[in-house]
């Protein structure tokens, strides 16, 4: 049995999750609204750029996973942080002309660095964890600090500027120092792990080996169904709060409430997973999120408090969504001896969800007549934001229950 990881080492590893998640919130939540409201970009063009860059980003992930199994994880992580920080700064400082080209280029650079850093970081944790319990603790620490980073990214725009657009742009100046401090702490305090060497397989052979594991394939399908149900509200959140609730100034506080609830719930889900199993705990969390979100479609102008209750309850379920499936994936990756390749495929699935959510929903809403900042097309926005995700949650719960005996790795 592997020795228990010291708490300072667990926390030092998890700290790097804060700046990565700090950047992820603007990347996947703020950018659609930021470019729509700040530059007036057409929704169809915006959705097309987001779809193309996110699909490109997703397709690169399996190759980055293959690479992470063949180079030192920490070296890959350090090299990836440079384009990540530069691209993020450019993304939130668009010029007055050629905005579409700037958006596509800065997104591509940011995604490349972010993806390479994330895959190396996750695979590093799988190495260092040692066993299922250790990997669950490291995953929970990573996601816990990640939630703190998300809360910071949600709250700072309102503190840094009176306008949500200006506040979002100010985040570009916060990420670089935060990233430098967290990276130095993690690299100084967390070792390199046992240094497993993956078999000398070609990239496509490695990918086929990952997908040949029936447990991983089933986990991936549950993750995709559940992830798409989360990606739609994440993409449309700012539009829903601004145009359905008529409370754009409340968006930062509502996001913060959601992610604070997720961070607070993490110890509960980890403890429940230790007693009842990760699959059972994850299933209960999906049920809680479904029940909490069921009334979102009934809300209208001024219903900020009922929506805050929905954010609180669905946020409590978020902790399980973040920590438990990734911990199961880490176990499966270590069982195969190629954790990097597994997390490359895992991140591909997560980003495919986000790409489809933005690339399909935004052009569809534009086609149905929705215009940001107005009254047209609001029923379509409500349907896409509040009702479609319930179908994804129901499918994820069904598959997770059906395959529960295959997914609990001992």
Ranges 129-138, 187-196, 205-214, 265-274, most confident:
265-274
Arithmetic mean of pLDDT, 308-319: 93
Task: Return the ∠ at Cα 400 (arms to 398 and 405), rounded to 5°.
Answer: 125
In the numeric block, which tokens belong to residue 21? Answer: 């998640």
Domain borders along the chain are 7-407
Residue 328 CB burial class (10 angstroms; 0-12, 13-18, ≥19): buried
Q: Residue 24: its pLDDT value, please?
A: 87
Is residue 329 classed as helix, strand or coil in its secondary structure?
helix
pLDDT at 400: 92
Asked whether the predicted pLDDT for residue 196 surpasses 60, the reply is no
What 3-state DSSP class applies to 245? coil
Percent above pLDDT 70 for the chain: 92
Kindly report, residue by residue over 89-129, the tens digit of the pLDDT.
999 999 888 899 999 999 999 999 999 999 899 888 877 76
The answer on pLDDT for 1 being more than 50 is no
Q: What is the average pLDDT score of the chain?
A: 85
Sign of the alpha-carbon dihedral angle for 315, 24, 58, 122 = negative
**What pLDDT digit, counting tens, does each position of 61-81 carry?**
888 888 887 888 889 999 999
H-type alpha helices, 92-198: 99-129, 132-160, 164-170, 175-189
CA distances from 57 to 104, 236, 242, 366 (A): 12, 21, 29, 24
pLDDT tier at 277, thresholds 50, 70, 90: confident
pLDDT of residue 337: 67
> Residue 274: which pLDDT band, with cuts at 50, 70 and 90?
confident
Check residue 98 and report its DSSP letter: S
Residues 6 or more apart whose Cβ sits within 8 Å of residue 335: 213, 409
Q: Are 327 and 281 in contact (CB under 8 A)?
A: no
3-state secondary structure of 94: coil
Tell the CATH topology of 7-407.
Answer: Growth Hormone; Chain: A; (1.20.1250)
Cβ atoms of residues 34 and 165 within 8 Å? yes
DSSP 271-320: HHHHHH-HHHHHHHHHHHHHHHHTTGGG--TT-HHHHHHHHHHHHHHHHH
- 360-387 pLDDT, tens per residue? 788 888 888 888 887 888 999 998 898 8
- Model's pTM, two decimal places? 0.71
């Amino acid at each position: 049995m592997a020795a228990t990881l010291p708490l300072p080492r667990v926390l030092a590893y998890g700290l790097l999750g804060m700046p990565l998640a700090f950047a992820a919130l603007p990347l996947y939540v703020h950018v659609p609204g930021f470019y729509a409201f700040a530059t007036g970009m057409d929704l169809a063009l915006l959705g097309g750029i987001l779809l193309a860059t996110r699909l490109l980003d997703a397709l690169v992930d399996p190759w980055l996973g293959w690479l992470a199994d063949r180079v030192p994880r920490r070296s890959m992580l350090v090299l990836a942080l440079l384009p990540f920080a530069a691209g993020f700064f450019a993304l939130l400082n668009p010029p007055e002309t050629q905005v579409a080209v700037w958006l596509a280029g800065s997104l591509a650079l940011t995604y490349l660095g972010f993806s390479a850093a994330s895959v190396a970081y996750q695979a590093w944790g799988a190495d260092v964890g040692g066993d299922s319990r250790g990997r669950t603790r490291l995953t929970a620490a990573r996601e816990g600090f990640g939630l703190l980073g998300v809360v910071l990214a949600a709250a700072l725009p309102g503190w840094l500027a009176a306008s949500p657009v200006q506040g979002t742009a100010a985040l570009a100046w916060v990420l670089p120092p935060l990233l430098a401090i967290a990276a130095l702490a993690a690299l100084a305090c967390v070792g390199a792990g046992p240094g497993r060497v993956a078999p000398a397989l070609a990239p496509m052979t490695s990918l086929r080996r990952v997908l040949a594991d029936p447990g991983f394939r089933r986990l991936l399908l549950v993750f995709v169904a559940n992830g798409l149900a989360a990606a739609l509200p994440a993409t449309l959140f700012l539009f829903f709060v601004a145009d359905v609730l008529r409370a754009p100034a409340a968006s930062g506080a509502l996001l913060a409430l959601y992610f604070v609830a997720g961070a607070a719930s993490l110890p509960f889900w980890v403890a429940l997973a230790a007693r009842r199993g990760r699959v059972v705990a994850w299933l209960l969390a999906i049920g809680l999120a479904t029940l909490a979100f069921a009334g979102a479609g009934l809300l209208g102008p001024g219903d900020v408090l009922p929506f805050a209750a929905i954010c609180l309850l669905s946020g409590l379920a978020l902790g399980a969504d973040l920590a438990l499936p990734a911990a199961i994936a880490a176990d499966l990756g270590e069982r195969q001896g190629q954790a990097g390749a597994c997390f490359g495929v895992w991140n591909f699935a997560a980003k495919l969800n986000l790409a489809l959510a933005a690339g399909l929903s935004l052009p569809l809403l534009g086609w149905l007549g929705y215009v940001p900042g107005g009254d047209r097309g609001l029923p379509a926005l409500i349907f896409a934001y509040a009702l479609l995700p319930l179908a994804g949650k129901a499918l994820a719960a069904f598959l997770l229950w059906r395959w529960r005996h295959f997914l609990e790795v001992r």
